[in-house]
Structure 1
Amino acid sequence: MARKRKGRDISGWLVIDKPAGMTSTAVVNKVRWALQAKKAGHAGTLDPEATGVLAVALGEATKTVPYITDALKAYRFVVKLGQATNTDDAEGEVIASSDLRPSDDEIKEALSQFIGEIQQVPPQFSAVKIDGERAYKRARDGEEMDIAARPLWVEELLLTDRPDADHVELEMTCGKGGYVRSIARDLGKALGCHGHVLRLRRIWSGPFDAEDGLSIEDVDAMAHAPELDSHIQPLETGLCDLPELPCTPEGATRLRNGNPGMVIASNVEYGDEAWASLDGRAVAVGVFKAGELHPSRVFNTV
């Protein structure tokens, strides 16, 4: 018999402003401990040295993680010009350098090639799998891999500051799977001067903003106290990009049992993905067909 997981049945989202030097997994473990939660996960890994919004899903909210992962997100980062590193950030070894320093206009012109649907090669030190093994593990052994390019949607990429000749501050809004380190590396190549990420901050992700996030110190101070619960956002926040379809109590019962349920639809078409609600609470996510929602995920929050 499987051992029952200990902890509170608590569902929702807790937004953390992740500090530098802490892994995303460590943040999730800290939140789970502080809330004594049975289940927790995060929506999108941040590198250990990166800071900013890390949305932690609790309980049934973990079923909405894919919708936050797929949502647009924004990063503010500083690129150090003149040096390439083997990790594409400041943690790695310098592997190439240049005395060339482009002008602001040259940088702005180069940024245009990284906007829209682009093809991006992940860093050698990344979590992508090569023949079943994480790339960073093979890179640590000194192996240089041929990593296939992946599509990335970049909504916006702006030069926001140029404090000196060696540093450029940029802001990028992009879709799922973007590597800021790859942007810095490829921008340096395009400018002919090399480059790597010096500092990185995720300023928002989907509906979650870093300015609204708790610090790790806040989490420690409020651990095991009702005050921390008051900062939890409802699991429905993770469904903000999907249309909401109210249902009847009878429809909710059918949906919770995994069957199609009647919903009231006005802004969706046949085959659209949506979520059903009863009194504002999420019941299920699924596909709308002929007046019914066919569930793919059911929420057990009652």
Structure 2
Amino acid sequence: MDGILPLWKTKGMTSHDCVFKVRKILGIKKVGHTGTLDPEVEGVLPICIGEATKIVPFLTDTTKTYRAKVTLGYSTDTEDQTGAMQKQENVDAEISEETVNCVLQEFCGDITQQVPLYSAVKVNGKKLYEYARANEPVERPYRQVKIHNIRFLATTYDKVGKTQAIEFEVTCSKGTYVRTLCVDIGKALGFPSHMSHLVRKATGNLSEQDTLTLDQIQECVDSNQPVPLLSINKGLAHLDKLEIDENIKEKVWHGQKLPLPSPRPDTAFFRMTYHNQIVAIYQIHDNKKEIKPARVFRLNERK
């Protein structure tokens, strides 16, 4: 089996748990996921199987789309609903949809985020959450990320609890912390806040509509039906494509460098396909005059 299993991860499972379950159900060792989802987050988690494990970094680097909820009124030490309450400030009057939407749009484009304290990012060889658990001070690094699109969905005001929840959809670059985005949105609105809910709706061009649950995968195996995998080519649709002939295909399969094509590809990495089937991923050589292989595939790929 070679392809991408677009899994819908349920709450309560780690990404590693999902890989372990898929290996057990399919009886295959060569399995890898394409970007960690926290246990309390559900959503699209592409699982690469067989030869598709070669493209894990290329799927990890794609944009992600999330549906998130930020709750104004109090912050937590983890920046999400799992943490202990820190600052609290009543939202005494409902903030209008117009004001919320204006603030959301301020976050479109390139933004700077401070990495959350409860994260696996390392500082001086030690993970930030290890500093947090040991109650040790540490300077958290900043990152540049990109918000491609952010869209207001709904808002709900709680008169009793004096909080306000705001739901939005965001498409963002690799490395974006949505919980930090929620905290920053709260600050822009003048209140301590935290991320109270998160669902990943898409990874690159793989969306919720493509996904299967672990139960559905088990049903396929139990009924001797093939598990519907997506092609490696589909998973790499965000990369430019160069269609090659049989002569070039043989050179590609042997890992040869090739002259820089014209027009030059727009993406740093690009697909080489033969009859619309993936053969390799190439990149610009350091000499800027040639292209060289980054990954080579020899398979009869599913269309």
Task: Give the distance between the partners of 1:215 and 1:257, measured in 2 at CA.
Answer: 38
Kindly indicate whether residue 242 of structure 2 is the aligned counterpart of residue 239 of structure 1. Answer: no
How far off is 1:278 after superposition? 2.3
Q: What are the superposed Cα offsets for residues 131-180 of structure 1, whole Å, 9 maximum, x if unpaired?
A: 12221222222234321110111011222101324211111111111111
RMSD between aligned alpha carbons?
2.5
Task: Give the distance between the partners of 1:144 and 1:162, measured in 2 at CA.
Answer: 36
> How many residues in Structure 1 have an aligned counterpart in Structure 2?
291
Matching residue of 1:4: none
Task: Give the distance between the partners of 2:266 and 2:139, measured in 1 at CA.
Answer: 42
Q: Retained in 1: the 8 A contact 2:240–2:266?
A: no
- The one-letter amino acid of 1:238's match is G
Secondary structure at the aligned position of 2:225 is classed as helix
Q: Retained in 1: the 8 A contact 2:183–2:194?
A: yes
Kindly indicate whether residue 266 of structure 2 is the aligned counterpart of residue 283 of structure 1. Answer: no
Kindly indicate whether residue 60 of structure 2 is the aligned counterpart of residue 64 of structure 1. Answer: no
Identify if the C-alpha distance between structure 1 residues 270 and 120 changes in structure 2 by more than 3 Å, giving closer, same or farther. Answer: closer
Kindly indicate whether residue 17 of structure 2 is the aligned counterpart of residue 22 of structure 1. Answer: no
Q: Retained in 2: the 8 A contact 1:81–1:188?
A: yes
Identify if the C-alpha distance between structure 1 residues 225 and 177 changes in structure 2 by more than 3 Å, giving closer, same or farther. Answer: farther
Q: What are the superposed Cα offsets for residues 84-118 of structure 1, whole Å, 9 maximum, x if unpaired?
A: 00001111000111013533333223223311000
Point out where structure 1 has 5 or more consecutive residues left out of the alignment: 1-9
**Residue from 47, 58, 71 that aligns with 2:38:** 47
**Residue from 118, 121, 125 that aligns with 2:114:** 121
State the TM-score, normalized to the length of structure 1. 0.87
Task: Give the distance between the partners of 1:80 and 1:94, measured in 2 at CA.
Answer: 12
Point out where structure 2 has 5 or more consecutive residues left out of the alignment: 159-163
Q: What are the superposed Cα offsets for residues 173-199 of structure 1, whole Å, 9 maximum, x if unpaired?
A: 111111110011111222221111111
Matching residue of 2:245: 248
Q: Retained in 2: the 8 A contact 1:248–1:262?
A: no
Secondary structure at the aligned position of 1:202 is classed as strand
- The one-letter amino acid of 1:187's match is I
Identify if the C-alpha distance between structure 1 residues 245 and 149 changes in structure 2 by more than 3 Å, giving closer, same or farther. Answer: same
How far off is 1:270 after superposition? 9.4
Aligned sequence identity (%): 33
Kindly indicate whether residue 26 of structure 2 is the aligned counterpart of residue 35 of structure 1. Answer: yes
- The one-letter amino acid of 1:94's match is M
Kindly indicate whether residue 149 of structure 2 is the aligned counterpart of residue 156 of structure 1. Answer: yes
State the TM-score, normalized to the length of structure 2. 0.87
Identify if the C-alpha distance between structure 1 residues 157 and 269 changes in structure 2 by more than 3 Å, giving closer, same or farther. Answer: closer
Matching residue of 2:270: 274
Identify if the C-alpha distance between structure 1 residues 15 and 105 changes in structure 2 by more than 3 Å, giving closer, same or farther. Answer: same
Q: Retained in 1: the 8 A contact 2:81–2:195?
A: yes
Task: Give the distance between the partners of 1:217 and 1:56, measured in 2 at CA.
Answer: 15
Secondary structure at the aligned position of 2:106 is classed as helix
Task: Give the distance between the partners of 2:155 and 2:45, measured in 1 at CA.
Answer: 27
Q: Retained in 2: the 8 A contact 1:67–1:241?
A: no
Secondary structure at the aligned position of 2:149 is classed as strand
Q: Retained in 1: the 8 A contact 2:240–2:265?
A: no
**Residue from 75, 78, 89 that aligns with 2:66:** 75
- The one-letter amino acid of 1:62's match is T
**Residue from 179, 191, 203 that aligns with 1:205:** 203
- The one-letter amino acid of 2:193's match is G
**Residue from 127, 132, 142 that aligns with 1:134:** 127
Task: Give the distance between the partners of 2:166 and 2:202, measured in 1 at CA.
Answer: 20
How far off is 1:79 after superposition? 1.2
Kindly indicate whether residue 184 of structure 2 is the aligned counterpart of residue 186 of structure 1. Answer: yes
Identify if the C-alpha distance between structure 1 residues 271 and 18 changes in structure 2 by more than 3 Å, giving closer, same or farther. Answer: closer
How far off is 1:224 after superposition? 6.4
- The one-letter amino acid of 1:135's match is L
Q: What are the superposed Cα offsets for residues 213-263 of structure 1, whole Å, 9 maximum, x if unpaired?
A: 11122233334664242x101111122122222223332222222212589
How far off is 1:291 after superposition? 10
Q: Retained in 1: the 8 A contact 2:146–2:172?
A: yes
